[in-house]
Structure 1
């Protein structure tokens, strides 16, 4: 599956414990990453500063669903069950 341009759910729903430029302590689940622009695109995409966890995320229908709202719900549920 290809990422849906402008979705950004993976930059909002999960917690990220590693350092993100502009967020030295990472981010909480449900918190919008500061690197997500107004079009829900990652400013760090393709940059060496992008956290490893972000590089390793791969869009998948089972996780991302058919819509951004489904992706947010699915990722928030995964956050709860994995913590």
Structure 2
């Protein structure tokens, strides 16, 4: 199956190689649903193959596709908790950002 460039695979699942939490947009996903670091993306992204799930979650908007994905895999509540409470990687990032001196690399977002 060819990729439909729907973007759901870059939002719905957690991506450990990128420290990306469940249900949150990958920081490298551009507005046009293309990868901002396609040429040097991690192997988890490079190895991903579109499958029947892509057809099952078809919808007009990225938000609807992500909602369908999370529902399909029973992850709606877990994703809601991540958005509301954060997760360990988000908490570490906030802690690093708040403790870094102004202008230090740890306090800047690296897209």
- TM-score, normalized by the shorter chain, greater than 0.5: yes
Q: Aligned to 2:36, which of 33, 40, 43?
A: 43
- Hey, what's the Cα distance between the residues in 1 that align with 2:8 and 2:74? 12
Map of 1:52 onto structure 2: 43
CA gap of 1:40–1:52, structure 2 versus 1, over 3 A, is same
List runs of 5+ in structure 2 lacking aligned partners. 76-111
- Higher percent of residues as helix: 2
In the superposition, the TM-score normalised over structure 1's length comes to: 0.68
List runs of 5+ in structure 1 lacking aligned partners. 20-25
Q: Aligned pair count?
A: 69
In the superposition, the TM-score normalised over structure 2's length comes to: 0.53
Compare relative contact order (CA 8 Å, sep 6+) and give the higher one, 1 or 2.
1
Q: Larger Rg: 1 or 2?
A: 2
Partner-residue secondary structure (3-state), 1:18: helix
Instruction: Show the 5 A alignment for 1:1-83.
Output: 1-5=1-5, 7-19=6-18, 26-45=19-38, 47-48=39-40, 50-60=41-51, 62-65=52-55, 67-68=58-59, 71-72=65-66, 73-74=68-69, 76=70, 77-78=72-73, 80=75
CA gap of 1:4–1:29, structure 2 versus 1, over 3 A, is same
